[in-house]
Structure 1
Amino acid sequence: MDEPAEIGRRVQRLRAERGLTQRQLAEPSYTAAYISTLESGKVRPSETALRFLAARLGTTYEELATGRPARLATELRLALTDAQRTLATGSADEAAAHYRRLLADAEGLDLLPERAEALLGLGDCALEAGQLSDAGRHFAMAEQLLAGEPLPRRARAIRGRAVAHLLAGELRYACYLLESTLDELNTSGLADPEALVMLYAAVIGPYIDMGAHARAAHAAELALALAPQVKDPALVAGMHRQVARTFLAEGRTADADASLAKAQSMYRQLRLRTDLAHCHWMRGYVQAQRGELDTAERELRTARDMLAAKRAALYTAQVEVELADVLRRLGRHDEAAGLLSALLDLGDRHGAVHAGGAHRLLGLIAEERGDTEAAEEHYVRALGLLERSGATGDLADLCRLLGDLLRRTGRVEAALDAYRTGLGHRAAPGTTTLGPAPAAPHTQARPGAAGH
């Protein structure tokens, strides 16, 4: 709200334009003396008074309080929706340019919710482009702008920050952000279903990467239970996509494929191309788990082409790791090694977990070619990357591979050390060493729910 003097001048101008006296404007709720005091800037009007005067003057509360025509905020919100559609169907660079213009407009008009929405959009664009530090910065700025809002309003910004840390290989911190927010939501009476489903779905990935399968399964159960209360179809589709990961971890490939099919159908209807590409990616992984390698290759190439067309460099690199594994299993070692080597030339921009995965595959290829020295070197480099990220489940498997290699080459003591290290990572299945799992949401009986 503007200063009282500015509001007073605005009321006086609008009253004069409409040919009203102070008494005519004031009646029946106020006095002419109050209008005189208000117009002289000697009193700060209440929201109730301004809403009454706005109705009498044929304007809006917002325009009277701030001088901004209400249509500007409406136009800006519509433009933000257009930018979101551009990100879904076009390139992240194009959408980011759109969001930057809208952020400047929102700042010029001092529209806080629209500024926050533009920053969230810029964070999503940066995630897709693989610019993780920029993504984290945009999400943190949005969260700061929304600091005075209830926690559910800040959930998207917090989720965005957590995803940026997850993609950078900082699994424990991603879990910490999501778990602490879930706890606060569930213990504060702010258990908003959409915010909870968003956060439960987001925490599944880091849980699985850390080997905490029990927690991942529990988060999936809670998300599925809350899903009927969620109106946003994109959010429900994203939940199904993440729930599929828990089915995969349990070896339930048919259930995983069914869950992905639900997500895929929703994404097609919503024309969300990046998310649809993620479904092709995961279905390719499911088919690879079933041994359907030719079909898996087709799905993964489809995902890679869709993501590359949108210039989603980070996700494209991650799909190529999965594709290289399928090519290796098909016996096309040179093609797989070429794909992985090109990824490693990019440095760690595609995240420690996936760089570790690339080194692991190169180690397997080297072993299958009989080059044990190169295999050991890749396994050791993969271990360093995965230890840095805290990807416990992958570490245990890698220690087994390294131990087997060392044992076959006669280094029994070194092999035992590798096995012990792997067992250490498997010592506490279902935990993240972060303390108790997040509290479950308080369930409230719905009217008419009895007997169903």
Structure 2
Amino acid sequence: MSVVGLHHQGVLVTGQDLVGQRIKTIRRQRGLSQAQLAHPELSDSYVSLIESGKRTPTAAVLELLAAKLECSLTYLINGVTAEQMQDLELGLRYAALALDNGEVAEARRRYAELLGDGSLAGLASLRQQAEYGYALASEACGELDEAITVLSRLSESSGETLPPDQAVAVAVALSRCYRERGDLGPAVRVGEEMLLGLRRPAWNDDLVELGATLLGAYIVRGDLLRARQFAAELLAAAEMLGTPRATVAACWNAAVVAEQTGRGEEALALTERALAVQSENGEPRNLARLRLSYAILLLRVRPEQAEACRDLFLRVERELAESSASTVDTARCAVELAKAEIVLGDPAKAVAYASRGRDLLDERARTLRLDAHLVIGNALLRLSRSEEAAAELAKVEELLAHVPSSRRAAEGWLTAAKALEQLDDGEATEAAYHRALASAGL
């Protein structure tokens, strides 16, 4: 719904001071006194109160004043003409389309231009849309600090309360950004404040998605007992709602918990359920991403099915190319395909795939680049190319040194230690094992 439509539902909701100032300015430009503008329908004292911001005019009064002042209602309410409003809304649609198509840098540029346009200053709803889109685009570009700053401002803004669904969407993105930056405390706090507070809302699709994001933070933090308990609660909520979106979100993330807690077959069953629902109701990019998650899980749980996993990865690669997937999704598929080739005994292909994935990533995708270097290093070891393998593992150590202590960091150091052990680098191996223990809090 447009901003103008919202203002027609009885009473003007915000910006009465600005509306009054615009009425006063236009009245003076027309050479009218307050009494002349008011007569005969209104009193001049009532017009005076409106202009001073002490009275909030109804939609009917605003329409009357706009007609008398010979200006558009859109301008009177928002300070922009109908044509300017159309341009702003069109600009938002183009920016959102660029973001949906994976053109994240272009989307960020478009949103930044909209936010730099002074016309948005008095349009709270459109400005919030632009800020939220800019934050998502910044996140996709790897600019997590910028995304967190904007999302925090949206979350904490006073006087411009977000609608409930938008408030949840902001919380989802903010928790996710904190988690990706390694700030697990804030990632958990954002989700728990909305989901587990004293005024806990009833479950709906938006809140299940927020719960799934919170569940991811528990997993990365290594709080697997809490994750397992909360996963069961999410699954129960999704079952109660019975909606495709809630089912996919709950099953997808509960599967990660199951796999992390040694219940691989249960994880596969949950992912298969999510995949079945997504196949019927989901859009192509998310379907490809979920199929990628299933293939990754299948390779971990049933490595004897590596050939089937390779076929799945190749299918996902094609689906991602045909959708609006980001380069990160494509790079992850290439790195996971390399892991399948290692299991199948073809380390040369593994080096090629992982190198292709690594080359798609810039410095901001640190975690995935780390994984790519690990895969390349292990594949080179199998090819007896020790010197090249050592160079890859040195890059792994360099990247891991900047990863905050967490379960993910511990797994990375442990994998690096096992690879360094094959290079007979005793000192580096021992140091890596110590870092793995420290990252796990041991």
Query: Cα–Cα, structure 1 residues 109 and 196, in superposed 2: closer, same or farther, change >3 Å?
Result: same
Once residues 379 and 315 of structure 1 are traced to their aligned partners in structure 2, the CA distance between those partners, rounded to angstroms, is 23
Mapping of residues 49-60 of structure 1, within 5 Å: 49-51=57-59, 53-54=61-62
| 2:149 maps to 1:112 | no
Question: Given the alignment, which residue of 365, 368, 388 partners 2:402?
Answer: 388
1:364 to 378, 389, 405: 378
Deviates more, 1:269-278 or 1:351-360: 269-278
Partners of 1:103 and 1:337 lie apart in 2 by: 44
2:148 is equivalent to residue 132 of structure 1: no
Please give the per-residue CA displacement for 1:337-389, whole angstroms capped at 9, x wherever unaligned: 12223444566536222222122222322332344555455445324423422
Cα separation, partners in 2 of 1:237 and 1:326, compared to 1, 3 Å: same
Deviations 1:180-237 (A, max 9, x none): 2134333363647456433332233344345443343344334334446879855663
SS in 2 for 1:389: coil
Contact 2:151 2:173 in 1 (8 A): no
* Aligned residues with identical type, % of pairs: 20
CA contact (8 A) 1:196 1:223 kept: no
Cα distance 1:413–1:52, how it changes in 2: closer, same or farther (>3 A)? closer
Cross-structure match for 1:214: 225
User: What residue is the counterpart of 1:301 in the other structure?
Assistant: 314
Structure 2 counterparts to residues 48-197 of structure 1, below 5 A: 49-51=57-59, 53-54=61-62, 65-66=77-78, 80=92, 84=96, 87-88=99-100, 91-92=103-104, 99=111, 107-108=119-120, 110-128=122-140, 131-133=141-143, 136-138=145-147, 140-145=149-154, 147-148=157-158, 149=160, 153-164=166-177, 166-167=179-180, 170-171=181-182, 173=183, 175-185=184-194, 186-187=196-197, 189=199, 191=201, 193=203, 196-197=207-208
Match status 1:25 vs 2:25: no
Per mean C-alpha deviation after superposition, the further-off stretch among 186-195 and 337-346 is: 186-195
Distance 1:245 1:6, change over 3 A: same
Question: Which residue of the partner structure matches residue 329 of structure 2?
Answer: 315
Residues 239-318 of structure 1: pairs in structure 2 closer than 5 A: 239-265=250-276, 267-268=278-279, 272-289=283-300, 290-291=302-303, 292-309=305-322, 310=324, 312-318=326-332
Equivalents in 2 of 1:229, 1:95: separation in Å? Answer: 37
Distance 2:150 2:420 in 1: 49
Distance in 2 separating the partners of 1:228 and 1:61 = 47
Matched, 1:336 2:317: no
Deviations 1:82-105, CA, capped at 9 Å, x for gaps: 764664467556756765676567
- Structure 2-normalised TM-score? 0.72
Q: Contact between 1:363 and 1:379, CA under 8 Å: does it hold in 2?
A: yes
Give me the TM-score of the superposition, normalised by structure 1.
0.71
Which secondary structure state, in structure 2, belongs to the residue aligned with residue 349 of structure 1?
coil
In structure 2, the residue matched to 1:203 is: 214
Q: Secondary structure at the match of 2:402?
A: helix
Per-residue Cα deviation, 1:127-168 (whole angstroms, up to 9, x for no partner):
44xx111x652563354255115586544335434544555x
CA separation in 2, counterparts of 1:414 and 1:103?
A: 49
The one-letter amino acid paired with 1:141 is V
* Offset, 1:117: 1.3
Number of residue pairs aligned between Structure 1 and Structure 2: 409
Q: Check conservation: 1:376, 1:402, Cα contact below 8 A.
A: no
CA distance 1:122–1:270, shift in 2 (3 Å): farther
Q: 2:20 matched to which residue of 1?
A: 4
Structure 2 spans left out of the alignment, 5+ residues: 1-14
Give the drift of 1:322: 1.1
Structure 1: gaps of 5 or more residues: 27-31, 429-452
Q: Render the CA deviation track for 1:63-86: whole Å, top value 9, x for unaligned.
A: 654455799869966875676466
Deviates more, 1:59-68 or 1:185-194: 59-68
